[in-house]
Amino acid sequence: MHKYKTAIVGCGGIARAHMQGYELLENIDVVAVVDPIEEARTNYMEDYDIPEGYSTVKEMLVKSQPEIVSVCVWHLLHDTVTEEVAKGKSVKGIICEKPMAIGVAKADRMIKACEENGVKLAVSHQRRFTPGWERAREIILDGAIGIPLRADLRVKEGLANWGTHSIDGARFVLNDPKPKWVMGAVERKTDKYERNTAIEDSCMGLIHFENDLQFFIQSDLLDNNCDAGKFFIRGTEGMIHITETVVKLFNGNTNGWEQVDIHLEDGDQAIGGKTNASQTEELIRWIEGGPEHRGSGYKARETVELMMAIYESARQNEVVSIPMQEKEYPLEKMVTEGKLPVTIPGRYDIRGFLDRSNIDEKRYKQLKDDGLPHHIIMRTLHEEQKTD
């Protein structure tokens, strides 16, 4: 059995989920990490017993010669880091975090760099591997709801942040239908960011696919009943309610709403690490000549385009046809063009608490010794800083 030398770029929260997946696989050997923040790097190396740590991708690629690399940095770095990693001589596969990129041009550059260097690119829409979504896809393809007509998606905390999972997920369970056009509306009265990316206060979009299928997505319009892993789909002969672990069906053969049997091996708890392991296994099969990964860069690029088209429709006040012409980030363009004036000044970042560049590392260590997980420590430090 070949063991793939693997490296992780960015030692924050989601990198820990990648590691939980890698730990389940015998053919993965995590040899190195990269993070410019020394404490982030050393904590992570200690926690998972990883031998090599570097402050730059360049040094890691030369010294560690990884074959698989996880890109776990913030969105605005996904394109440049992926492009740099793809050029590493030893690299065969990359798992880049979601959202793939902020703007279609960046996604295209990532795909090009990987194609030019013979690297397989997967994007971590890892929920494509959850048992609920897999089973729902199976029975929808089997005709359980007739011809699918409308998917209803409700998310919060940013379209690119949560909406990417929902749009991508609904595409997955509906067998990646071909999009035709998008109409969107966007509000941004506050100077809102998410992991350093300018985002909207709220937005909604109607996405029209071939065969009259439509997705309606609302983002940050509701606080309750929002979930990136959950959607409701209506078809000509039935309705289906889908979460990552529960699927409920209503059609002419059911007695009202009925729960569908799905294959749950270890219950809900196992999903985090297992989905990351599954997406890695599928990447390895793709590297070794198997079929395209279900969460490939090609698939994720379409999700990026649909999200960008929602913004572009609001920017142009018109229906946007797919493929769309605009390749940069339409929301940022709207901000620059003065189309979204901020009426409540003051920049804020809804994931700013994750920024480790200016925290009290001694206090971090105390909280870690108390047994708190990384993201809770970061939230706690943020709250403590506010009250100081």
Ligand X SMILES: NC(=O)c1ccc[n+]([C@@H]2O[C@H](COP(=O)([O-])OP(=O)(O)OC[C@H]3O[C@@H](n4cnc5c(N)ncnc54)[C@H](O)[C@@H]3O)[C@@H](O)[C@H]2O)c1
> Closest distance between ligand X and the C-beta of residue 129, in Å?
11
Contact string (CB under 6 A) for ligand X, positions 55-94, x = contact: -----------------xxxx-x-----------------
Closest CB to ligand X among residues 248, 363: 363
Closest CB to ligand X among residues 19, 40: 40
What residues numbered 188-217 form the site for ligand X, per CB under 6 A? 195
> Closest distance between ligand X and the C-beta of residue 160, in Å?
8
Q: Which helix (H) or strand (E) holds 381?
A: helix 374-387
**Residue 230 binding ligand X, by CB under 6 A:** no
* Exposed / middle / buried, residue 146 (Cβ in 10 Å: 0-12, 13-18, 19+): middle
Pairing relationship of beta strands 148-155 and 214-219 according to DSSP bridges: parallel
Helices and strands (H and E) in the chain: how many: 12, 18
SS3 358: coil
What residues numbered 337-366 form the site for ligand X, per CB under 6 A? 354, 356
List the beta bridge partners of residue 8. 33, 70
Contact string (CB under 6 A) for ligand X, positions 10-39, x = contact: xxxxxx------------------xxxx--
**183 CB neighbour count, 10 Å cutoff:** 17
Determine the Cα–Cα distance for residues 382 and 386; give it in Å rounded to an integer.
6
Closest CB to ligand X among residues 37, 149: 37
Closest CB to ligand X among residues 209, 311: 311
> Closest distance between ligand X and the C-beta of residue 73, in Å?
4
Residue selected from 30, 40, 61, 155 as contacting ligand X according to rule CB under 6 A: 40
> Closest distance between ligand X and the C-beta of residue 37, in Å?
4
What residues numbered 242-271 form the site for ligand X, per CB under 6 A? none
| Residue 218, CA distances (Å) to 269, 318, 321 in order | 28, 18, 20
* Exposed / middle / buried, residue 30 (Cβ in 10 Å: 0-12, 13-18, 19+): buried
Residue 2, phi-psi category: left (phi > 0), alpha (psi -120 to 50), beta (remainder): beta
Using CB under 6 A, list all residues that contact ligand X.
9-15, 34-37, 40, 72-75, 77, 97-98, 124, 126, 195, 354, 356
